[in-house]
């Protein structure tokens, strides 16, 4: 709470002094860091919204500046080793995140994202969500904070990190400035990982209750992404971009199925929701190429309480308005506007988004390639991940040029597109075709796929930069807080601390970091 209060106090002057739009962001950057602008306002998303008469009143991103003149803080991280914090800014005004600052600060330990700063100048910063209608798993009923390195990407060729929301993770601001209330018009977009989702409630970004409680129909207006079918759905099996309007996930006027809202799963997804008196819309598209499609544009839902709306003006990320925190997803950037943006303005924003070139953040793991994985812990730098011929267990052991052909083949893996998430990876044995590296009861095994969704998830890992600054780390797709680790020469998925022996925090960063090596076979 002391961090939140200090942020509020530091923002009082800006809330009094600053107007919205690019000029506000420019001054905010100078007040925050004492820097001078290096370029004039131009064509970043919030510049475009301002030009369209619907200025940003909140602008959040861990990957880049959303105004051409912004030269301030993007987000803050806290490291586990000493609980100190560090603000992560941009490389230049209007530019991309300075990921090297984070990498240096977090080297040899783990970090979480504590604050996602508002670039609009209004101080609408997102911090750890407090308890509401539901408690979170952290101390005091708060939600967890996101692992700062769990969602690596590139943007315009620059390394950056997104916000990976695992179930139990959430951010919120209940005391905002300029966010729509009542039936006021607003718009919002978010760039999300279209392959990372679940059916939990609710992976949202947008307008919510200021109390953290469900206060009734129409008290929210937020982007939802996932495949939850409890309240409503679109075509196919999902996931869908829908609107969380409280007590309902809506894909159109009908409170149930709306087949015009398609299943979408682009690796990088643009999701848009906007609303004004009597009307609202859903739009979406591929954030890497192409334009936007309109999935719905029309009357408010045909259920009491949604026309007029009763929006309250808090901002949430990764959770529902009542702090429902069972969802999963990944967020890279998003804004909220004052007023109902035109399609033309949103089309211009989409053109800007596709121009910056979002891409995957880890190289060297192309599907179809053969690799070996070498340990980086000081004890074991000649040891490689391999399956044990005597049973199904996976271990590490020394492999060299003088090793047997069998040992070399056992330590060689074929990279496959992730069985449960094509943006991630699975590892097939090079000498046991059809058998994959998978976890069961947290221990790693080599097993043949049974075609089930559970096996696919157990055999899928989402690469990110190594936790000790070397190589690559592999969090599990279905347990993203647990990483592929060797412990006492046996392989597990392990958390950084916990009740199991293999969760021991000692040497965790080293044991969970692997070098992608030339294949032995």
β-bridge mates for residue 25, sequence order: none
Q: Within a 10 A sphere around the Cβ of 279, how many other Cβ atoms?
A: 14
Are 518 and 474 contacting, i.e. CB atoms less than 8 angstroms apart?
Answer: no
**322 in active site:** yes
Query: Which run of H or of E encompasses 79?
Result: strand 73-79
Name residues whose C-beta falls within 8 Å of residue 447's C-beta, 6 or more positions apart in sequence. Answer: 392, 435, 436, 438, 440, 455
Residue 160: closest CA among 172, 150, 169: 150
CA distances for 495 relative to 142, 370, 487, angstroms: 20, 28, 12
Q: Which of 87, 214, 246, 511 is catalytic?
A: 246
Between CA 82 and CA 105 the distance in angstroms is 11
Rg of the chain's alpha carbons, rounded to an integer? 23
**209 in active site:** no
Q: Which of 173, 186, 214, 322 is catalytic?
A: 322
Question: Which pair of structure tokens corresponds to residue 300?
Answer: 């408010």
Between CA 246 and CA 371 the distance in angstroms is 48
Please spell the DSSP secondary structure of 24-38, one letter per residue. HHHHHHHHHH-----
DSSP for residue 199: S
Between CA 68 and CA 66 the distance in angstroms is 7
Are 179 and 336 contacting, i.e. CB atoms less than 8 angstroms apart?
Answer: yes
Between CA 89 and CA 65 the distance in angstroms is 9
CA distances for 19 relative to 26, 48, 342, 378, angstroms: 10, 16, 22, 54
Q: Helix or strand or coil: residue 282?
A: strand
Name the residues annotated as catalytic: 246, 322
């Amino acid at each position: 709470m002391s961090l939140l209060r200090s942020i509020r106090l530091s923002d009082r002057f800006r809330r009094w002094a600053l107007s919205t739009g690019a000029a506000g962001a420019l001054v905010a950057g100078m007040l925050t860091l004492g820097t001078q602008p290096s370029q004039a306002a131009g064509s970043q998303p919030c510049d475009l919204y301002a030009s369209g008469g619907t200025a940003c009143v909140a602008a959040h991103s861990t990957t880049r500046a959303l105004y051409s003149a912004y030269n301030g803080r993007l987000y803050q991280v806290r490291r586990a080793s000493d609980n100190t914090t560090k603000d992560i800014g941009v490389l230049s005004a209007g530019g991309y995140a300075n990921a090297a600052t984070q990498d240096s600060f977090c080297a040899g330990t783990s970090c979480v994202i504590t604050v996602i700063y508002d670039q609009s100048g209004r101080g609408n910063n997102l911090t750890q969500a407090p308890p509401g209608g539901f408690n979170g798993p952290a101390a005091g009923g708060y939600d967890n904070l996101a692992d700062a390195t769990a969602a690596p990407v590139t943007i315009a060729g620059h390394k950056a990190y997104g916000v990976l929301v695992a179930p139990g993770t959430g951010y919120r601001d209940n005391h905002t400035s300029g966010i729509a209330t009542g039936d006021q018009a607003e718009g919002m977009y978010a760039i999300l990982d279209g392959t990372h989702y679940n059916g939990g409630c609710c992976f949202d970004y947008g307008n919510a209750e200021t109390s953290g409680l469900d206060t009734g129909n129409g008290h929210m207006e937020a982007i939802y992404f996932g495949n939850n079918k409890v309240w409503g759905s679109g075509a196919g099996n999902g996931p869908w971009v829908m609107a969380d309007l409280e007590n309902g996930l809506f894909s159109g006027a009908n409170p149930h199925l709306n087949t015009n809202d398609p299943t979408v799963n682009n690796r990088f997804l643009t999701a848009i929701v906007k609303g004004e008196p009597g009307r609202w819309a859903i739009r979406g598209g591929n954030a890497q190429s192409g334009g936007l499609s309109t999935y719905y544009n029309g009357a408010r839902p045909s259920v009491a309480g949604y026309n007029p709306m009763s929006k309250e003006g808090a901002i949430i990320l990764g959770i529902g308005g009542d702090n429902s925190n069972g969802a999963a997803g990944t967020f890279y950037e998003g804004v909220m506007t004052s007023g109902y943006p035109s399609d033309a303005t949103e089309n211009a924003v989409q053109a800007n988004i596709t121009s910056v070139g979002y891409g995957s953040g880890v190289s060297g793991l192309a599907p179809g390639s053969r690799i070996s994985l070498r340990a980086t812990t000081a004890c074991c730098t000649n040891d490689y991940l391999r399956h044990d011929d005597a049973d199904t267990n996976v271990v590490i052991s020394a492999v060299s040029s003088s090793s047997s052909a069998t040992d070399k083949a056992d330590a060689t893996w074929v990279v496959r597109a992730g069985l449960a998430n094509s943006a991630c990876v699975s590892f097939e044995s090079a000498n046991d075709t059809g058998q994959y590296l998978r976890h069961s009861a947290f221990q790693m095994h080599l097993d043949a796929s049974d075609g089930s969704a559970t096996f696919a998830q157990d055999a899928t890992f989402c690469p990110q930069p190594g936790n000790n600054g070397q190589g690559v780390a592999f969090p599990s797709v279905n347990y993203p807080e647990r990483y592929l680790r060797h412990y006492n020469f046996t392989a597990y998925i392990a958390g950084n601390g916990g009740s199991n022996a293999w969760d021991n925090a000692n040497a965790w960063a080293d044991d969970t970091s692997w070098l992608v090596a030339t294949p032995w076979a």
